[in-house]
């Protein structure tokens, strides 16, 4: 069995405590900011306006999807499509039926094309 010197254990614990305190401070600052300036409520999603087919996707929808990508998802990380479509709905009121529908696929193609050509 390997014996770890007590001073090493104490140093690791102190570093862990500092990281925990920093994380708690960041979380508290975020909580305070959100309490002071909460995000606006999302526009209502009317079931009559849910996009299902690729033909439902207009130029305005593509422009909103491009803006959502540029504003929130253009960081080089893989795109979480659920988060992307949630953001598209909350910021622009654009709803897709599900990730497997033609409308979602058309929007995903646009976003992938934008990412590849930047």
pLDDT value at position 43?
Answer: 62
Q: What are phi and psi of 51, to 5 degrees?
A: -85, 130
Of the two residues 36 and 64, the one the predictor is more confident about is 64
Residue written as token pair 């080089």: 76
Tell me the pLDDT band of 2, cut-offs 50, 70 and 90.
confident
Tell me the pLDDT band of 118, cut-offs 50, 70 and 90.
confident
pLDDT value at position 37?
Answer: 77
pLDDT value at position 100?
Answer: 94
Could you write out the DSSP letters of every residue in 73-117? I-SSSPP-HHHHHHHHHHHH---BS-TTSHHHHHHHHHHHHHHHT
Please state the rounded mean pLDDT for residues 82-102.
91
Q: How far apart are CA 61 and CA 108, in angstroms?
A: 12
């Amino acid at each position: 069995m390997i014996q770890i010197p007590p001073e090493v254990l104490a140093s690791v614990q102190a570093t862990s405590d500092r990281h925990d305190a920093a994380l708690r401070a960041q979380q508290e600052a975020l909580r305070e900011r959100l309490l002071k300036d909460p995000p606006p409520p999302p526009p209502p999603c009317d079931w009559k306006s849910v996009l299902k087919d690729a033909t439902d996707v207009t130029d305005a929808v593509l422009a909103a999807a491009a803006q959502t990508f540029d504003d929130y998802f253009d960081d080089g990380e893989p795109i979480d499509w659920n988060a992307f479509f949630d953001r598209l709905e909350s910021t622009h009121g654009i709803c897709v039926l599900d990730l497997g529908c033609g409308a979602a696929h058309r929007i995903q193609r646009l976003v992938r094309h934008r990412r590849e050509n930047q």
